[in-house]
Structure 1
Amino acid sequence: MLIRSPADLGAIIRDKRKRLKIDQSTLAKRIGVSRQWVIEVEHGHPRAELGLVLRALDALDIRFDASSELAKDRSSAKSAVNINAILAKAKKSKT
């Protein structure tokens, strides 16, 4: 599945957690965060710490593939997320 937003990632985390029959509190303990953090991530909170998100993916055994293959057709490339622009904007807003 192509993840295009924090909400997409949150939905994947929530879906896998539910399929594993793990409640939010249990997942929070496994990651080392509060239940509120899990709730926010599952609802697509855009400022979740990347290290903790990666811990959540690992705790749920969700594979994260950041391959850099170019899109085969131009329509796919047009809809791709420009991570560099997102990071630059985030850095700019912090200063």
Structure 2
Amino acid sequence: MLINTPHDLGSAIRERRKALGLDQVELAAQVGASRRWLIQVENGSSGASLRLLLRTLNALGMRLSVGAESLTQQSSEQPLSTPDLDAVIARARRMAPPK
């Protein structure tokens, strides 16, 4: 599954949780979060803690992978750039609807 938005990630987490037969309370307890937090993540809230998201993916046996869209777009002489995760998270937070 290609993840482009917080909603995509939330949907993937919800589908996997259900496939494993876990309810929200059980999964939240496994990752050290509240059920309310998990509900927000599954609904696509972009303000979720990256640390807890990664723990949630781990508890579900899921892995997060980052890669370039097309290696042919970059010159073979230029090294691949590493995305600034802080900038990505800050941009996602700015796009989040007000609470």
- Structure 2 matches for 1:1-95, cutoff 5 A? 1-68=1-68, 70=70, 86-87=88-89, 89=91
Note the C-alpha offset of 1:49: 0.6
Alpha-carbon distance in structure 2 between the residues aligned to 1:91 and 1:42: 16
Q: Which has the higher helix share?
A: 1
* Total equivalences in the alignment: 84
Structure 2 residue identity aligned to 1:64 = L
Relative to structure 1, is the Cα distance of residues 36 and 88 closer, same or farther in structure 2, using a 3 angstrom cutoff? Answer: closer
Match of 2:79 in 1: none
When structure 1 is superposed on structure 2, of 17-26 and 57-66 the one drifting more is 57-66
5+ residue gaps, structure 2, are: 74-84
Q: Pairwise CA RMSD of aligned residues?
A: 2.7
5+ residue gaps, structure 1, are: 74-82
Calculate the TM-score normalised by the size of structure 1. 0.74
Q: Is the 8 A contact 2:7 2:45 kept in 1?
A: yes
Calculate the TM-score normalised by the size of structure 2. 0.72
